[in-house]
């Protein structure tokens, strides 16, 4: 219908234009920027493969990538275990279930900047809450954020704490989909609590686990405000994240071409990692 | 035996809940403590003081930042609801050339990590001369692909006979959207509203890139700059500034807890 | 003057032609039923008339006004939908009046029409309820009321009864019929249910594959179906069919099939092509003669078979029996019924037999139509 066509283009046209300007153009221009040198003041110059060459040999970039993997290796498993444990607990008959759920979800709604500022205090070596608690049980203060060995794990624990409520909800939703008949069947077969978990609950939650792995991985690659506020990337660059490096290149060093190159590389790494994870989980499932 | 297991269960839950709530309570109480007391684990200030808030208010334009954040987040939320549902309506219920392409593009956009487009978007804002303007904070967020897909999904389930009836009754398409579809879409609209508002309210990386003028900064940005730049001077002051950002959210969360949880979890699953 | 006219209307969705070269005239005040199976195009025709679907080619007129390119609101038609299409968040009163308010009808006039429709349909006590609080039949009435208050030139019904249970459906069918009798508004009614079509329609249009099979008064469709499709579609229980050939013997025509030989009416034309014989279950007269091993009487107006199933429906029963390879069914009074496994004789009155040629068209009876 011509009238329908016209109405539709009035209603959807602005969005199409928006997509062109704020999605399609930036994606295309990111690929152009990879080959440019540009400080936003003078005119951009063609740089050939300079940015790519620089990136390949850039120790700081690769340090940040390694840091991210360190972060993920702690964050992802910890996130799955904590979220699953809390979800299974909340899935029982509980008094005040929505209160517990709300409590665990609280950090999710709080700004990451606030959480980072708060946890800087909790992690503080001399006056931090955590060390004071440890002191009470006889553990000497740990320099959480200033020791290169503990800084990134400390941040990973904090991010896990902030997001766990979100993943609990995902697992709780998944638990609703396990048919009652399956649960009854496995109980009649005389399975122990652990066997029920191992052979029914865990496999049934595979889609949710894949989601948790994917989302927490993508989230990990976006790590920015935590190191920015808490450590500035230190100590010894051990908490430098890729996005922090990208931000500094753009904002502090005015190197748009190089910052965009980092962005493209990061997107590629995310794509490869997420696909690899899916493959791995798919293989594990087939076993 | 069963009794004991229940006691262990609830004790465990309580400890877990304390781990999630206590830090915020401690933060709130610390803002009313003088510097010497901040290190204490106690939640009741020994020497109650409002100095931290006075200092914070005097040293940086937090009032202004509160207005900025509210304005930016509200504008974005309204835009996402109004423009998003218009787009979603067309994509769900009208036939037009380019609809499949638009659908595909929307899904494709969601698969591209934000880090890829961050710098080109920033250079675009610079070239448009939008650095240090509200436009830079608002315009790139006027449409949200996740919101459009969620609304579209919901709109697809509304019976065709309602549209037909409304057309026979003589309504225009926008009128059908806003007087028939909207009242029926309250659940999804509230989900979209909450996650959009929260996203805009808590966003910090983008403002850090495009705003340098203190008077235009949003709360999380000013808070970060203030805490990092040493402007706070003490833990109490920096936590007090964080409270400005947290309190409105926690109050809203207390009232709309269920909606918040559904909304933010929903957006993550769909997005 | 016809109230609604379709002229060479064709509708295509992409490459698929749903309606081809459709011509139809609906008389003023007539209730016309479009009946057909799913995919027959009946709803598409109605929606094109409503303006909810575009027309690929051809014209549609309402009272000589070409409405082909008009929006639904400008056509002066009102429609009742299968799932009613009531606005769930509005009261019955608002549902009834919205279309009038949008047309800027004066308030007192809206009030008058709503009161009139509500009293006619017995909706007065329900005016302040929302659709969710109504039963299926009440919702159906509201949907009709919404169409009535518009006082349109044409009413359109799109399978309005198919969401109701059987009892309510029969009751609403009667209500719709008597309502239309009183209002005398031209009505186009779409249904897949041939009983609805037979009981409601002044005229019926039988559709299949986007083409008109036959147009006529209900009794015409029943008595003289023009093709095998209409013969099988109209009438319950459905007509029996036997495949065979016509053979001439001693100056008479006989229908011949395996285990069956029947004398045809005088004047039945000779034909070399395969023939389908149709006979309605209620036209078969049954002789319940056990243990009589006949294979057709000398008059050749009977079929002999063995009872395989008896369905007792109360006053009448359906007797299914096997004649050679043919499975037939007779509708008979229940007072005396054969038993399963027994042989019976069915009389086939030559005057009630329908014959269809290889292309499905009725043959030999065209002269008798009407």
Residue B52 lies in a domain: no
> Looking at chain B from residue 188 to 227, which residues have their Cβ under 8 Å from any Cβ of chain A?
198, 201-202, 204-205, 208-209, 219-220, 223-224, 227
Q: What is the pLDDT of residues C219-260, one digit of tens each?
A: 999 999 999 999 999 998 999 999 988 888 777 788 888 888
Residue B167 lies in a domain: yes
Q: Which chains does B contact via 3+ CB–CB distances below 8 A?
A: A, C
Instruction: Kindly list the residues from chain B whose CB atom is less than 8 angstroms away from the CB atom of residue C154.
Output: none
Cβ–Cβ below 8 Å for B168 and C73 = yes
Contact C238, C232 (CB under 8 A): yes
Q: Is the pLDDT of residue B93 over 70?
A: yes
With cut-offs at 50, 70 and 90, classify the pLDDT of residue C329.
very high
Residue A287: what pLDDT?
60
With cut-offs at 50, 70 and 90, classify the pLDDT of residue C218.
very high
Query: Which residues constitute the domain of residue B96?
Result: 63-270
- How far, CA to CA in Å, does C39 sit from each of C18, C201, C227? 8, 21, 19
Locus of tokens 């070399």:
C272
Instruction: Kindly list the residues from chain B whose CB atom is less than 8 angstroms away from the CB atom of residue A33.
Output: 119-120, 123
- The Cα–Cα gap between C308 and C270 comes to 34
Residues linked to residue C318 through DSSP beta bridges, in sequence order: C311, C331
Work out how many domains chain C is built from and give that number.
Answer: 2
Cα dihedral C288/C293/C299/C304 (nearest 10): 60
More confident residue, A191 or B105: B105
Measure CB to CB from residue A266 to each of B24, B115, B142 and give the nearest one.
B115
Exposure string for C239-260, b = 16+ CB within 10 A, e = fewer: bbbbebebeeeeeebbbbbeeb
The predicted model gives C205-216 an average pLDDT of: 94
Q: Is the pLDDT of residue C366 over 60?
A: no
**Last residue in a domain, options C231, C255, C284:** C231
CA distance, residue A194 to nearest chain B CA (Å): 16
Cβ–Cβ below 8 Å for B167 and C83 = no
Cβ–Cβ below 8 Å for A7 and B238 = no
- DSSP E strand boundaries for chain B: none
- The Cα–Cα gap between B93 and B111 comes to 24
Interior CA angle at A141 toward A135 and A145, to 5°?
Answer: 135
Q: DSSP 3-state assignment of B170?
A: coil
Q: Is the pLDDT of residue B270 over 70?
A: no
Q: Where are the alpha helices (DSSP H) in chain A?
A: 2-19, 25-33, 50-56, 59-90, 97-109, 112-123, 129-136, 151-176, 180-188, 193-196, 202-204, 206-221, 225-230, 242-251, 256-286
- How far, CA to CA in Å, does C106 sit from each of A114, B169, C109? 59, 16, 5
Residue B26 lies in a domain: no
Contact C227, C199 (CB under 8 A): no
Q: DSSP 3-state assignment of A48?
A: coil
- The Cα–Cα gap between B92 and B113 comes to 26
Q: Is the pLDDT of residue B36 over 70?
A: yes
On whether both C263 and C346 belong to a single domain, the answer is yes
B96 touches chain C (CB under 8 A): no
Contact B182, B145 (CB under 8 A): no
On whether both C53 and C84 belong to a single domain, the answer is yes
Residue C298: what pLDDT?
54
CATH of the domain at C100: 3.40.50.300
With cut-offs at 50, 70 and 90, classify the pLDDT of residue B271.
very low
Q: Is the pLDDT of residue B197 over 50?
A: yes
Q: Exposure of A126 by Cβ count < 10 A (0-12 exposed, 13-18 middle, 19+ buried)? A: exposed
On whether both C251 and C162 belong to a single domain, the answer is no
> Looking at chain B from residue 127 to 186, which residues have their Cβ under 8 Å from any Cβ of chain C?
159, 161-162, 164-171, 180, 183-184
Q: What is the pLDDT of residues B215-257, one digit of tens each?
A: 999 999 999 999 888 777 788 899 999 999 999 999 999 888 8
Q: DSSP 3-state assignment of C340?
A: coil
Query: Which residues constitute the domain of residue C193?
Result: 2-231
- The Cα–Cα gap between B116 and A262 comes to 8
Cβ–Cβ below 8 Å for B253 and A243 = no
The list of chain A residues with pLDDT below 50 reads: none
Taking CA–CA distances from C50, the nearest residue in chain B reads B168
Residue B5: what pLDDT?
86
The phi, psi pair for A71, rounded to 5°, reads -60, -50
CA distance, residue A229 to nearest chain B CA (Å): 7
Residue B184 lies in a domain: yes
Express as a percent the part of chain C with pLDDT over 90. 62
Name the region of C305 (left: φ>0; alpha: ψ -120 to 50; beta: rest). beta
Cβ–Cβ below 8 Å for C81 and B184 = no
Residue C369: what pLDDT?
36
Q: Is the pLDDT of residue C294 over 80?
A: no
B143 touches chain A (CB under 8 A): yes
Interior CA angle at A283 toward A278 and A284, to 5°?
Answer: 100
| Gyration radius from chain C CA atoms | 25
- Of C82, C79, C102, the closest CA to residue C90 belongs to C102
Start-to-end C-alpha separation, chain C: 24
Cα dihedral A155/A160/A166/A170 (nearest 10): 140
**Last residue in a domain, options C190, C207, C231:** C231
Q: Which two tokens stand for residue B35?
A: 């510097």
How many CA atoms lie within 13 Å of B225's alpha carbon, on the beta-carbon side? 22
Work out how many domains chain A is built from and give that number.
Answer: 1
Q: Which helix (H) or strand (E) holds C35?
A: strand C31-36
- Of B144, B142, B128, the closest CA to residue B72 belongs to B142
Cβ–Cβ below 8 Å for B120 and A33 = yes
CATH of the domain at B106: 1.10.3720.10
Instruction: Kindly list the residues from chain A whose CB atom is less than 8 angstroms away from the CB atom of residue B30.
Output: 121
On whether both C295 and C190 belong to a single domain, the answer is no
Taking CA–CA distances from C97, the nearest residue in chain B reads B169
On whether both C69 and C201 belong to a single domain, the answer is yes
Measure CB to CB from residue B140 to each of A5, A22, A267 and give the nearest one.
A22
* DSSP-assigned letters across all residues of B69-137: HHHHHHHHHHHHHHHHHHHHHHHHH---TTHHHHHHHHHHHHHS-HHHHHHHHHHHHHHHT-TTSHHHH
Contact B193, C98 (CB under 8 A): no
Residue A83 lies in a domain: yes
Q: What is the pLDDT of residues B119-149, one digit of tens each?
A: 999 999 999 999 999 999 999 999 999 999 9
Taking CA–CA distances from B172, the nearest residue in chain C reads C73
On whether both C319 and C242 belong to a single domain, the answer is yes
On whether both C248 and C285 belong to a single domain, the answer is yes
CA distance, residue B155 to nearest chain C CA (Å): 15
- The Cα–Cα gap between C170 and C54 comes to 33
Contact A145, A154 (CB under 8 A): yes
Instruction: Kindly list the residues from chain B whose CB atom is less than 8 angstroms away from the CB atom of residue A1.
Output: 95
Residue B69 lies in a domain: yes
Residue A26 lies in a domain: no
Query: Which residues constitute the domain of residue A264?
Result: 59-286
CATH of the domain at A130: 1.10.3720.10
CA distance, residue B82 to nearest chain C CA (Å): 20
CA distance, residue B61 to nearest chain A CA (Å): 17
Q: Is the pLDDT of residue B83 over 70?
A: yes
Q: Which chains does C contact via 3+ CB–CB distances below 8 A?
A: B
The predicted model gives C302-319 an average pLDDT of: 90
The CB density around residue C15, as the number of other CB atoms within 10 Å, is: 5
Instruction: Kindly list the residues from chain C whose CB atom is less than 8 angstroms away from the CB atom of residue B184.
Output: 88-89
Cβ–Cβ below 8 Å for B168 and C72 = yes
The predicted model gives B4-29 an average pLDDT of: 91
Locus of tokens 């006619």:
C120
- Respond yes or no on whether the N-terminal peptide bond of residue A35 is cis (omega within 30° of 0): no
Q: Is the pLDDT of residue C296 over 70?
A: no
B102 touches chain A (CB under 8 A): yes
B115 touches chain A (CB under 8 A): yes
On whether both C360 and C281 belong to a single domain, the answer is yes
CA distance, residue A259 to nearest chain B CA (Å): 7
- The Cα–Cα gap between B191 and B261 comes to 9
Instruction: Kindly list the residues from chain B whose CB atom is less than 8 angstroms away from the CB atom of residue C103.
Output: 170
Work out how many domains chain B is built from and give that number.
Answer: 1
Residue B41 lies in a domain: no
Taking CA–CA distances from B89, the nearest residue in chain A reads A11
Q: What is the pLDDT of residues C134-165, one digit of tens each?
A: 999 999 999 999 999 999 999 999 999 988 88
CA distance, residue A178 to nearest chain B CA (Å): 18
Contact A188, A170 (CB under 8 A): no
- The Cα–Cα gap between A13 and B86 comes to 10
Q: What is the pLDDT of residues C190-206, one digit of tens each?
A: 999 999 999 999 999 99
**Last residue in a domain, options C214, C231, C248:** C231
Measure CB to CB from residue A26 to each of B124, B143, B268 and give the nearest one.
B124
Substitution target from A3, A4, A12 for chain B, most B beta carbons within 10 A: A12
* DSSP-assigned letters across all residues of C259-300: TEEEEPPTTPPP--S-EEEEE-GGG-EEE--TT---SS-TTS
Instruction: Kindly list the residues from chain B whose CB atom is less than 8 angstroms away from the CB atom of residue C146.
Output: 165
- How far, CA to CA in Å, does C50 sit from each of C70, C102, C208? 10, 18, 21
Cβ–Cβ below 8 Å for A229 and B228 = yes
| Gyration radius from chain A CA atoms | 24
Cβ–Cβ below 8 Å for C84 and B167 = no
Contact B211, B201 (CB under 8 A): no
Q: What is the pLDDT of residues B148-187, one digit of tens each?
A: 999 999 999 999 999 999 999 999 999 999 999 999 999 8
- The Cα–Cα gap between A85 and C221 comes to 71
Summary mean pLDDT of chain B: 91
């Amino acid at each position: 219908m011509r009238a329908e066509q016209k109405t539709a283009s009035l209603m959807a046209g602005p969005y199409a234009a928006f997509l062109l300007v704020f999605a399609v153009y930036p994606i295309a221009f990111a690929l152009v920027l990879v080959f440019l040198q540009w400080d936003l003041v003078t005119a951009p110059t063609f740089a050939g493969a300079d940015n790519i060459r620089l990136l390949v040999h850039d120790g700081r970039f690769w340090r940040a990538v390694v840091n991210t993997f360190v972060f993920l290796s702690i964050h992802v498993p910890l996130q799955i275990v904590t979220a699953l444990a809390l979800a299974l607990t909340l899935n029982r008959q509980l008094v005040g279930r929505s209160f517990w759920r709300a409590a665990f979800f609280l950090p999710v709604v709080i700004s990451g900047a606030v959480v980072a500022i708060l946890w800087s205090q909790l992690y503080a070596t001399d006056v931090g809450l955590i060390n004071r608690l440890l002191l009470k049980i006889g553990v000497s203060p740990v320099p959480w954020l200033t020791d290169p060995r503990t800084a990134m794990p400390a941040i990973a624990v904090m991010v896990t704490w902030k997001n766990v409520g979100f993943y609990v909800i995902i697992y709780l939703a998944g638990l609703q989909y396990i048919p009652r008949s399956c649960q009854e069947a496995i109980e009649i077969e005389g399975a122990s609590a652990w066997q029920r978990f191992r052979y029914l609950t865990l496999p049934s939650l595979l889609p949710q686990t894949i989601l948790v792995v994917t989302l927490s991985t993508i989230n990990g690659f976006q790590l920015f405000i935590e190191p920015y506020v808490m450590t500035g990337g230190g100590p010894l660059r051990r908490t430098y994240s890729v996005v922090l490096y990208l931000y500094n290149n753009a904002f502090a060093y005015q190197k748009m071409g190089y910052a965009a190159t980092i962005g493209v590389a990061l997107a590629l790494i995310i794509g490869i990692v997420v696909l690899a994870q899916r493959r791995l989980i798919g293989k594990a499932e087939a076993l | 035996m069963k009794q004991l297991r229940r006691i262990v269960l609830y004790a465990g839950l309580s400890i877990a809940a304390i781990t999630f709530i206590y830090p915020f309570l401690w933060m709130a109480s610390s803002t009313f403590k003088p510097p010497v007391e901040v290190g204490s684990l106690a939640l009741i200030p020994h020497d109650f003081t409002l100095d931290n808030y006075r200092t914070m208010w005097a040293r940086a334009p937090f009032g202004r930042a509160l207005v900025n954040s509210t304005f930016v987040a509200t504008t974005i939320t309204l835009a996402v609801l109004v423009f998003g549902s218009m787009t979603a309506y067309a994509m769900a219920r009208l036939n037009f050339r380019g609809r499949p392409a638009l659908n595909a593009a929307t899904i494709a956009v969601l698969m591209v990590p934000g880090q890829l487009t961050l710098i080109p978007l920033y250079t675009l804002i610079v070239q448009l001369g939008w650095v240090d303007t509200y436009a830079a904070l608002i315009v790139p967020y006027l449409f949200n692909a996740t919101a459009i897909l969620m609304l579209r999904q919901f709109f697809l389930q509304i019976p065709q006979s309602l549209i037909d009836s409304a057309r026979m009754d003589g309504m225009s398409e926008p009128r059908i959207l806003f007087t028939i579809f909207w009242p029926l879409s309250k659940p999804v609209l509230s989900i979209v509203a909450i996650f959009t508002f929260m996203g805009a309210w808590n966003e910090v990386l983008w403002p850090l890139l495009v705003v340098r003028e203190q008077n235009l900064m949003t709360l999380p940005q000013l808070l970060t700059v203030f805490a990092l730049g040493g402007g706070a001077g003490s833990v109490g002051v920096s936590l007090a500034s964080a409270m400005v950002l947290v309190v409105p959210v926690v109050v809203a969360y207390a009232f709309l807890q269920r909606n918040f949880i559904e909304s933010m979890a929903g957006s993550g699953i769909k997005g | 003057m016809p109230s609604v006219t379709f002229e060479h209307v064709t509708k295509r969705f992409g490459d698929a032609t749903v309606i081809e070269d459709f011509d139809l005239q609906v008389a003023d005040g007539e209730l016309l039923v479009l009946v057909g199976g799913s995919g027959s195009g009946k709803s598409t025709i109605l929606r094109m008339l409503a303006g909810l679907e575009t027309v690929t080619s051809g014209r549609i007129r309402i009272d000589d006004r070409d409405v082909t390119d008009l929006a639904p609101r400008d056509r002066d038609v009102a429609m009742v939908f299968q799932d009613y299409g009531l606005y769930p968040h509005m009261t019955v009163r608002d549902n009834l009046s919205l279309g009038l308010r949008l047309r800027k009808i004066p308030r007192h006039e809206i009030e008058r029409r709503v009161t009139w429709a509500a009293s006619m349909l017995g909706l007065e006590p329900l005016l302040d309820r929302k659709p969710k609080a109504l039963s299926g039949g009440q919702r159906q009435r509201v949907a009709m009321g919404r169409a009535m208050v518009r006082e349109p030139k044409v009413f359109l019904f799109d399978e309005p009864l198919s969401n109701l249970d059987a009892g309510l459906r029969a009751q609403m069918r009667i209500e719709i019929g008597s309502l239309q009798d009183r209002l005398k508004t031209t009505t186009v009614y779409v249904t897949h249910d041939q009983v609805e079509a037979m009981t409601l329609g002044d005229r019926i249009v039988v559709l299949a594959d986007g083409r008109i099979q036959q147009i006529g008064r209900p009794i015409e469709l029943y008595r003289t179906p023009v093709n095998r499709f209409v013969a099988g579609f109209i009438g319950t229980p459905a007509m029996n069919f036997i495949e065979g050939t016509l053979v001439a013997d001693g100056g008479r025509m006989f229908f011949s099939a395996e285990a069956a030989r029947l004398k045809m009416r005088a004047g039945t034309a000779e034909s070399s092509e395969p023939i389908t014989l149709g006979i309605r279950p209620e036209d078969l007269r049954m002789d319940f003669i056990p243990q009589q091993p006949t294979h057709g009487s000398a008059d050749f107006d009977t079929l002999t078979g063995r009872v395989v199933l008896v369905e007792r429906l109360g006053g009448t029963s359906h007797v299914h029996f096997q004649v050679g390879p043919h499975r037939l069914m007779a509708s008979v009074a229940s007072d005396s019924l054969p038993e399963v496994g027994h042989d019976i004789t069915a009389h086939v009155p030559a005057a009630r037999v329908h014959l269809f040629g290889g292309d499905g068209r009725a043959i030999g009876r065209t002269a008798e139509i009407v």
